[in-house]
Amino acid sequence: MRSKWIYPLCFLLCQITWSQTVFGKWKTIDDRNGVEKAIIEIYKEDGMLHAKVVKILEEGKKGALCTKCDGEKKNKPILGMTIMNDFEEHKDGVYKGDSLFDPEQAMTFRGKVWLDEDNVNRLKVRGYLAFLHRTQTWHRVEEN
């Protein structure tokens, strides 16, 4: 005879496991002024991590174009733009790659992505330029 608690327990464990991944939707917040900027979807394709802008949150920027960009991204909408390409998983759930794109600066950085060890609903995103780096904290967006 199965316990009436087995199915809710399985559901809870699945939810805990799901929430401990870098994949999903994340809200970006400017670490300098606290402005909510965008929702980014991080997904896996061909075994690699990728990310794209799925919603613009900042007032007055909803239809923003990448005016500072060069090449194929020049004057393209930021909404839908891929901002991380081919990040590879390393030990302890850390992903690293050479293509972390900031559309506001029109610059590409080396990057590193990992869950905050104190709160799995926070994602650390670090961009590197030479020996300098900057880290932002993104906030998990619950899927409905």
Dump pLDDT digits (tens) for 55-83: 999 999 999 999 999 999 999 999 999 99
The sign of the dihedral angle between the CA atoms of 59, 65, 67, 72 is positive
Instruction: Return the structure tokens found at 104.
Output: 């506001």
Instruction: Give, in degrees to the nearest 5, the angle at Cα 26 between 139 and 40.
Output: 145
Instruction: Give, in degrees to the nearest 5, the angle at Cα 122 between 117 and 124.
Output: 75
Domain covering 24-140: architecture? Beta Barrel (2.40)
pLDDT of residue 38: 97
| Sole residue written with tokens 């930021």 | 78
Dump pLDDT digits (tens) for 130-142: 889 999 999 999 8
pLDDT of residue 144: 62
b/e sequence 73-107, b meaning 16+ C-beta within 10 Å: beeeebbebebbbebeeeeeebbbbeebbebeeee
Q: Please state, in angstroms and as integers, the Cα–Cα distance from residue 43 to each residue in 75, 80, 87, following that order.
A: 25, 13, 10
| 81 and 72 Cβ atoms separated by less than 8 Å | no
Overall residue count recorded for the chain in this entry: 144
Q: Is the pLDDT of residue 18 over 50?
A: no
Considering the entire predicted model, what is its pTM?
Answer: 0.84
